Amino acid sequence: MKKNHIKNRKILILGGAGFIGHNLALKLKQLGANVSIIDSLKVNNLKTLNKNINNLSFPQLAKKIIKQRLSLLKKNRIPLKILDARNYHALSSEFNRIRPQVVIHLAAVSHADRSNKDPHSTFDHSLRTLENSLDNSKNNIEHFIFLSSSMVYGNFKKSKVDENEICEPIGIYGALKYSAEKIIKAYNQTFNLPYTILRPSALYGERCISRRVGQIFIENALNNKKITIQGDGEEKLDFTYIQDLVKGIVCVLKSKKSINQTFNITYGKSQTINKLFYNLKKEFPNIKVSYKKRDKLTPFRGTLSTIKAKKLINYKSDWPLDIGYSKYIKWYKNIYYKKQF
Ligand SMILES: NC(=O)c1ccc[n+]([C@@H]2O[C@H](COP(=O)([O-])OP(=O)(O)OC[C@H]3O[C@@H](n4cnc5c(N)ncnc54)[C@H](O)[C@@H]3O)[C@@H](O)[C@H]2O)c1
């Protein structure tokens, strides 16, 4: 495998104070990279929590989680520049100051429901920021890495999809992710910008505040609230622990074979939502469940094949759902019962 180095490499993470970004930054720092972050803290982050814009059930807990993220970044001496990446000129001057070799673009509205509720601002935070960051990267960046989503596939036509599957996204979030992939490829065609596109799915793990299914289950259980499952619970998702995604991104950074490629990066085996609930019940035996009609804008998904990532960049997932989810629940119990919020 043709190798690239991580040590001392200047890596800029846009949207790096989010769930994926700060976990990734900590790992890259540990591997010796010269990491910096740009984040506005204004989308699904500290500044939305003061007014609880996203109407979270437990905003004080979310705030505590974000503060933990920020203090970990500080403790590990990872510089965070608070800046709105929609502002082209401000972003350009940061690019000129940092002079990154690698850009990892995560800034977006990262939530499908929220994207459907507010397409206008989603477009701005997702595509405007992306174009600003591509334009600043086009002439002098060694590698541009973008986090797309399994939502680009739309309804899975097979139980397992690979990267060659035709994409037919449903709703605003998937459509914007797919447009983003096309724009990145256009920058590659026009300016030879080397890129990698990653398609993760159903992530869970420490310090997430996005209220995806795995987190809602735990928060409800901690607050003695009933769990509601959309549909009959037999629908499958490729639940992926955050450290598997982080490992995938490290593989992308290390291997030159990742250049100009698109990869699914997931656990690589889907499980039913009932199975997720069963894992929760092991930790919260008294928890109750009810079922309701599913949202028509949520595509039916399944397993994402990770064979291409294994062959080309040597990626192999480490965290089956029962182990990763139980580790996550233990972390959650710990932060919740300390009740310093
Ligand atoms: N978490 C998942 O399950 C998942 C799955 C697939 C893809 N993704 C994608 O990965 C990326 C990161 O996801 P996440 O879960 O870490 O989301 P997140 O919401 O936790 O983080 C996104 C970060 O981007 C920042 N941001 C948004 N707009 C900005 C702007 N205009 N200027 C500067 N910063 C801005 C936010 O403040 C936030 O900290 C997103 O693009 C998301 O769509 C996430």
Model confidence, pTM: 0.96
Q: Is residue 107 within 6 Å of ligand 1 at its C-beta?
A: yes
Task: HSE, CB side, 13 Å, CA atoms: give it for residue 336.
Answer: 16
Domain spanning 10-204+241-266+304-319: which CATH class is it, in words? alpha beta
CB 27 within 8 A of CB 79: no
Residue 296 has pLDDT above 70, yes or no: yes
pLDDT digits (tens, 9 = 90+) for 156-191: 999 999 999 999 999 999 999 999 999 999 999 999
What local confidence, expressed as pLDDT, does residue 49 receive? 84
Query: What residue's CA is closest to ligand 1, atom 22?
Result: 18
Count of CB atoms situated within 10 Å of the CB of 179 = 16
pLDDT digits (tens, 9 = 90+) for 61-117: 899 999 999 999 999 999 999 999 999 999 999 999 999 999 999 999 999 989 999
Query: What residue's CA is closest to ligand 1, atom 42?
Result: 110
pLDDT digits (tens, 9 = 90+) for 185-235: 999 999 999 999 999 999 999 999 998 899 999 999 998 999 999 999 999
What local confidence, expressed as pLDDT, does residue 115 receive? 92
Q: Is residue 18 within 6 Å of ligand 1 at its C-beta?
A: yes
Q: Is residue 237 within 6 Å of ligand 1 at its C-beta?
A: no
For CA atoms 147, 153, 155, 157, the dihedral sign is negative
Cα distance between residue 206 and residue 335, in whole Å: 10
Residue-range domain boundaries for the chain: 10-204+241-266+304-319
Q: Is residue 210 within 6 Å of ligand 1 at its C-beta?
A: yes
Give the pair of three-digit tokens for residue 32. Answer: 């010796």
What local confidence, expressed as pLDDT, does residue 339 receive? 60
Ligand 1 center from residue 316 Cα (angstroms): 24
What confidence tier does 341 reach under pLDDT thresholds 50, 70, 90?
very low
What confidence tier does 144 reach under pLDDT thresholds 50, 70, 90?
very high
Task: HSE, CB side, 13 Å, CA atoms: give it for residue 241.
Answer: 19
Q: Is residue 200 within 6 Å of ligand 1 at its C-beta?
A: yes
Ligand 1 center from residue 72 Cα (angstroms): 18
CB 274 within 8 A of CB 234: yes
DSSP state of 3: B
Ligand 1 center from residue 310 Cα (angstroms): 25
- Best mutation site among 20, 27, 122 for ligand 1 pocket (most ligand atoms within 8 Å of CB): 20
Ligand 1 center from residue 206 Cα (angstroms): 15
Does 299 or 268 have the greater pLDDT score? 268
Q: Which own/partner contact pairs does 334-340 have at CB distance under 8 Å and 24+ positions apart?
A: 335/61, 335/64, 335/65, 335/68, 336/61, 336/222, 340/64
Q: Which ligand 1 atom is at minimum distance from the Cα of 85?
A: 32
Q: Is residue 15 within 6 Å of ligand 1 at its C-beta?
A: yes
Ligand 1 center from residue 106 Cα (angstroms): 5
Report the DSSP pairing between strands 203-204 and 271-272.
unpaired
Cα distance between residue 114 and residue 112, in whole Å: 6
For CA atoms 82, 85, 86, 92, the dihedral sign is positive
Query: What residue's CA is closest to ligand 1, atom 12?
Result: 106
DSSP state of 125: I
Cα distance between residue 182 and residue 321, in whole Å: 32
Residue 1 has pLDDT above 90, yes or no: no
Ligand 1 center from residue 146 Cα (angstroms): 11
Ligand 1 center from residue 38 Cα (angstroms): 12
Q: Is residue 43 within 6 Å of ligand 1 at its C-beta?
A: yes
